[in-house]
Amino acid sequence: MPPFHDTPRTKPVKLYMTPGSCSTGIHILLEELELVFEAHLVNLLAGDQHTPEYLALNPKASIPILVCDNGRILSEFQAIAYWLARSYPKAKFLPGDPDGDAQVIELMDYVVGTVHGQGFARIFTTDKFATHAADVNAVKAQGLDIVKRAFAIINDSLPAQGYAFGYFTIADAALFYVEFWADKIGITLSDNSLKHYRLMLTRQAVRRVLMEEGYRLG
């Protein structure tokens, strides 16, 4: 039985995911926990998220979603990460005190809501924000500006060495996936963010996830 299991789990959880997306962060958490889970690939470009079958699970048509072992369906990154942290407290994905937990959630929410939801969303899904074709470049530029400014704020909050809060938490999994995106599209990370990204790339769970999702590691 994996070391972080506190109570017997009768059914594996199910992760609906898209390789290289925000679901990579949840995939990492599942690997860190060494959980046996069912992976269901959602091809966003093919429109899998809009099929009746998927909408029956998640009418928001978003990824990731996690079907918990008790049958509950969670559909937001922050909610899924929090559920995993609370369900497997021995993993210490959260500090365990109100102030510490709030700080971890604060960073995670900023990453998901601002860096991803306001910044990268404009870069990757420009058509959702550009009313006219003439607006496309301006929308992408706005997204890039949001990402760079947010990363500057995050960089200043990170320690010179180590994880965001001294040890691996759910916030690190969230931060990694946007750092990964930045690396892939050529956005230069500042010193602390780059050190964090490189540190994350040394974790065995992260390396396994990237290989499983089809990425070659240097």
State how far the Cα of 179 lies from the Cα of 196, in Å rounded to an integer. 9
Q: Do 4 and 91 contact (CB within 8 A), yes or no?
A: yes
Peptide bond into 2 cis (omega under 30): no
Question: Which residues, listed in sequence order, are joined to residue 37 by a DSSP beta bridge?
Answer: 13
Q: Scan for tokens 């860190």, then name that residue.
A: 32
Instruction: Tell me which H or E stretch contains 74.
Output: strand 73-74
Q: How far apart are CA 172 and CA 82, in angstroms?
A: 13
> Which two structure tokens, joined as six digits, stand for 13?
């959880």
**Catalytic position from the list 21, 23, 87, 193:** 21
Tell me the two tokens of residue 55: 């909408």
Residue 44 amino acid letter = L
- How far apart (Å, rounded) are the C-alpha atoms in residues 96 and 169? 11
Asked about 62 being catalytic, the answer comes back as: no
Tokens 């301006």 — which residue? 138
What residues are annotated to the active site? 21
